[in-house]
Amino acid sequence: MRTLNFEVLTLFPGTLAAPLNESIMKRAREKGLLNVTVRNIRDYTEDKHKTADDSPYGGGAGMVLKPEPIFRAFEAIASEHPGEELLTILLSPQGRPFDQQRAEQLAEEKRRIVLLCGHYEAIDERVIEALVDEELSIGDYVLTGGELAALVVIDAAARLLPGVLGDEESAYRDSFGDGLLDHPHYTRPAEYRGMKVPDVLLSGNHADIEKWRRREELKATLMKRPDLLERTDLAEEDRKILEELKSELRNSKS
Ligand code: 4FV
């Protein structure tokens, strides 16, 4: 059994508490499969006002996170985990888009992963130059802080760890796992307010069910995220189905 270790540097540790103490993440931590240490950057300040940010050189709006408390936090991590290699990720809109593939890679990560959460305008560039290995963005929008982004990264990686998802959860075949969006799901009752569950799902014929699900994944991806089809290597069978779906689409439009 291997433990995935995260260190989260933040000015608002409370923001991370609830999601890490609920359901799957809570159980993963209790099982020792996931370890998340949340550190308040303000605990590494030395002045009586616990100053962690200051106004930007050159003027301008907003505040900038100071380098000293963050460097001290890293020294604390190094002294608590001597010799351990760190992978430091800054969550920021300037980062590389976070995706399932990066989540799968992080789930395999042996190094201790430090997630640096920005707040206010920015972080002093010397922190980024000296300590940050990678910038990750969870989307092209601006958050009030990096904490929610850090939680997204922890959740997406931790759920891939062996033993974290129970059977009832792991049945869910990941969207993006095979590069396509997921097929529709149904449960009892077989008919609700006149809306029927597709007969094939009630047939018990697993080969037909698998074919239907694959077709529905291709249809959902074609309709909602055709961009994904460009970067997914599809089998000949899938390409044939896709051409059928496209002609159906054309006919339905005409
Ligand atoms: C963000 C994102 C994000 C920017 C200023 C925090 C905020 C403040 N992080 N993906 N989008 N961060 O908006 O990761 O520092």
Q: Within 13 Å, how many C-alpha atoms sit on residue 22's CB side?
A: 6
Please indicate, yes or no, whether residues 147 and 184 belong to a single structural domain of this protein.
Answer: no
The rounded Å distance from CA 143 to ligand 1 centre is 5
- The answer on pLDDT for 172 being more than 60 is no
Please indicate, yes or no, whether residues 67 and 127 belong to a single structural domain of this protein.
Answer: yes
Stated pTM of the model: 0.91
User: Is the minimum distance from the CB of 115 to ligand 1 under 6 angstroms?
Assistant: no
175: confidence class by pLDDT, cuts 50, 70, 90: low
Question: Which whole number is the average pLDDT over 151-158?
Answer: 98
User: CA nearest 134: which of 94, 100, 107?
Assistant: 94
Please indicate, yes or no, whether residues 186 and 124 belong to a single structural domain of this protein.
Answer: no
Nearest residue by C-alpha to atom 6 in ligand 1: 145
Average pLDDT, the chain: 94
Which are the catalytic amino acids? 93, 121, 159, 174
- The answer on pLDDT for 177 being more than 70 is no
User: Is the minimum distance from the CB of 57 to ligand 1 under 6 angstroms?
Assistant: no
Question: Which whole number is the average pLDDT over 48-67?
Answer: 95
Please indicate, yes or no, whether residues 31 and 70 belong to a single structural domain of this protein.
Answer: yes
Q: Is residue 56 part of a domain?
A: yes
Which phi-psi region, left, alpha or beta, contains residue 193 (left: φ > 0; alpha: ψ -120 to 50)?
left
pLDDT digits (tens, 9 = 90+) for 65-107: 999 999 999 999 999 999 999 999 999 999 999 999 999 999 9
Query: Of the residues 100, 123, 158, which one is the last residue of a structural domain?
Result: 158
Which phi-psi region, left, alpha or beta, contains residue 155 (left: φ > 0; alpha: ψ -120 to 50)?
alpha
**Total number of domains constituting the chain:** 2
The rounded Å distance from CA 8 to ligand 1 centre is 15
User: CA nearest 118: which of 7, 15, 9, 45?
Assistant: 9
User: Is the minimum distance from the CB of 149 to ligand 1 under 6 angstroms?
Assistant: yes
Please indicate, yes or no, whether residues 200 and 129 belong to a single structural domain of this protein.
Answer: no
Longest Cα–Cα distance of the chain, Å, equals: 72
pLDDT digits (tens, 9 = 90+) for 207-236: 999 999 999 999 999 999 999 998 888 999
User: Is the minimum distance from the CB of 90 to ligand 1 under 6 angstroms?
Assistant: no
Please indicate, yes or no, whether residues 187 and 109 belong to a single structural domain of this protein.
Answer: no
User: Is the minimum distance from the CB of 138 to ligand 1 under 6 angstroms?
Assistant: yes
Q: Which domain holds residue 53?
A: 4-158
Mutate to test the pocket of ligand 1, among 65, 115, 143 (most ligand atoms within 8 A of CB): 143
User: Is the minimum distance from the CB of 145 to ligand 1 under 6 angstroms?
Assistant: yes
> Residue 200's domain is classified under what CATH number?
1.10.1270.20
Beta bridge partners of 87: 113
Query: Of the residues 98, 126, 158, which one is the last residue of a structural domain?
Result: 158
> Residue 107's domain is classified under what CATH number?
3.40.1280.10
pLDDT at 179: 84
Q: Which atom of ligand 1 is nearest to the CA of 119?
A: 15
